[in-house]
Chain A
């Protein structure tokens, strides 16, 4: 293959990564933006979504598409439920204290990871894609499913944006994000908003995982990379900024795809992490964010 098609392939792969990353990071960003909680267990909600998708799709016989659609519908709901319980039992009791919640979500990370290892096992297991149509480009064939992941992610992002900016729920969320106490004084049920946001954040990660699991595989340690990458995206995009999150996800995903095709993946990770750390040190509001409150 020549350089041009090679680059195109790398860019397409990067775009798929971006699509999944944008959804995952959006979940993290919502939780941080509205609740001021750094959810270290976010990657584990991602992993839980993938593992549940495997369990659901293998439990349902018949055409793979049936199992996949069932997984896409049920897995995020279950993950949302887990998040809701965690929020009720732990985060609320800590009164959303920033440091306490970090320690508590580290605890959740270990609990979810260990339970996945115990009940699911250390193997990586694939989920069959719902369809296996290949789009034939002049230079190579490309999986139609991968492109549909990008489309699905784009649709979900637009829906989230519409909900945030055009509906009453969005208005309530933004009010809570802007000033918790004033929002409460105006009769907004802040605790219910928090519970909902935490569940939705986890569900976004779970949806992203269900979408990616036919491409990569379900594994109990798969949550670590999305967590770090989501942190990176949220930081570069500016904490709590939706537009910044999407732009940063595309930027990181594309450069990850392209860089890791031409350089050693370890070196690529070292450079990327170092660059982001420096961004955080010298431009804490992110590249696109406005000044922090």
Chain B
């Protein structure tokens, strides 16, 4: 049904990436920094969306994949003195490996039990970070020095603490992950995932190995979230246990619900929207959590499909 307009779809995604590229040169300093952060976290939301939106698995433990990337990158730089590219790869590998183990265990359960199991594994991960405070810095966290955040390619060196370099690095990762997600969604694999969401028994009966497909989705989702975490550590230079707390498992759920589950651009829209709502309201009130709470309830009551989900339903049926 969506294949009717592949050109339109690609044009839209390239357009969004081009727009973000152009914004770098127009945005004031403060908003440039905010956008870099939003793009890095939107990747986290995209990873969450792959599992929640397309496979329909509600996890409350994705903070562990994000922080696996965060610590995988942060600790190798801090303790082993690794360079930025190696540390990034280490972060993603940690997330993928953790996702594989968690997936093998948690996928034995379904529905509510899946949610509770993922939440508990994430809690264990969080407590482990606190327990090994000697290496992880515990709830104080670790600051990654500026000198460790410089990439040298050939003769040129890129300083990730420079705002423009940071923005462009975040955009590059965002663009790559966005195109990967789009490719997954349009592929045979993506369609099987949606089929599992709609009716797992029937998909199984049609001869698909739903278990293997779900496991692959968990690993892909975990790796993408870890990429976001690794990039966050390297771009913003801070690693801390608060990123592993249950709140960071709920935030991607909120962003995805807000932007529209099972839409490729929804995670970006949701993250962007929520960040700016928080940013604007923080001028009037410190009750940030109240806004999150009210937003969650209103969304689930009145816009269960989110912003892009509603747009797709009303006007743009071809939106991926």
Which residues of A approach B to under 8 Å, CB–CB?
38, 90, 93-94, 98-100, 102-104, 106-115, 117-118, 228, 231, 235, 264, 266-267, 269-270, 273-274, 276-278, 280-282, 284
Contacts and interface: CB of A to CB of B under 8 A. Distances in A.
A111 B290 CA distance: 5
Interface in B271-320: 287-290, 292-297, 299-301, 304
Q: Report the interface size class on chain B.
A: 35 or more
A110 B58 CA distance: 19
B130 A235 contact: no
Interface in B126-177: 127-128, 130-131
Contacts of B183: none
A89 to B, nearest CB: 9
Contacts, number: 106
A270 B300 contact: no
Contact of B257 (A93, A103, A270, A278): A103
B296 A113 contact: no
A104 B105 CA distance: 27
A284 B109 contact: yes
Contacts of A284: 108-109, 113
Contacts of B294: 107, 111
B120 interface: yes
Given A102-B115, A104-B301, A118-B290, 15 more contacts: A100-B304, A102-B58, A102-B112, A103-B257, A106-B250, A106-B293, A107-B292, A107-B295, A110-B290, A111-B289, A111-B297, A270-B127, A270-B131, A274-B124, A281-B117
A109 B293 contact: yes
Given A106-B296, A107-B296, A266 B58 contact: no
- Residue with the greatest number of chain B CB neighbours at <10 A, chosen from A106, A112, A276: A106
Contact of A114 (B113, B119, B293): B293
B109 A111 contact: no
Contacts of B106: 281
Contact of B116 (A109, A117, A280): A280
Given A103-B296, A107-B293, A114-B290, A228 B123 contact: yes
Interface of A is mostly: helix
B23 to A, nearest CB: 31
B100 interface: no
Contacts of B128: 270
B111 interface: yes
A89 B25 CA distance: 46
Contacts of A118: 287, 290
Contact of B293 (A108, A277, A278): A108
A114 B289 contact: yes
B253 interface: yes
B248 interface: no
B300 A280 contact: no
Contacts of B130: 266
Nearest to B247: A110
Contact of B120 (A100, A110, A115, A273): A273
Contacts of A235: 113, 116
Contacts of A278: 105
A118 B120 CA distance: 29
Nearest to A38: B112
Contacts of B208: none
Contacts of B296: 103-104, 106-107, 110
Interface string B87-125: 000000000000000000110110111011101110110
A111 B295 CA distance: 10
8 contacts: A104-B297, A108-B293, A108-B297, A110-B289, A115-B290, A280-B117, A281-B105, A281-B117
A282 to B, nearest CB: 7
A277 B300 contact: no
A99 B58 contact: yes
A103 B253 contact: yes
Contact of B301 (A90, A228, A264, A266): A90
B300 A103 contact: yes
Contacts of B257: 103
B295 A269 contact: no
Contacts of B120: 228, 231, 273-274, 276-277, 280
Interface string B241-285: 000000000100100010000000000000000000000000000
B115 A38 contact: yes
Nearest to A40: B60
A117 B289 CA distance: 10
A104 B295 CA distance: 10
Given A104-B297, A281-B106, A281-B117, A113 B131 contact: no
A103 B115 CA distance: 11
Contacts of B108: 281-282, 284
- 4 A-B pairs closest in CB distance: A110-B293, A107-B296, A111-B293, A107-B297
A100 B127 contact: no
Nearest to A110: B293
A266 B131 contact: yes
Nearest to B110: A284
- Residue with the greatest number of chain A CB neighbours at <10 A, chosen from B119, B123, B289: B289
A1 B39 CA distance: 59
Nearest to A232: B120
Nearest to B299: A103
Contacts of A282: 108
A115 B292 CA distance: 13
Contact of B300 (A104, A115, A267): A104
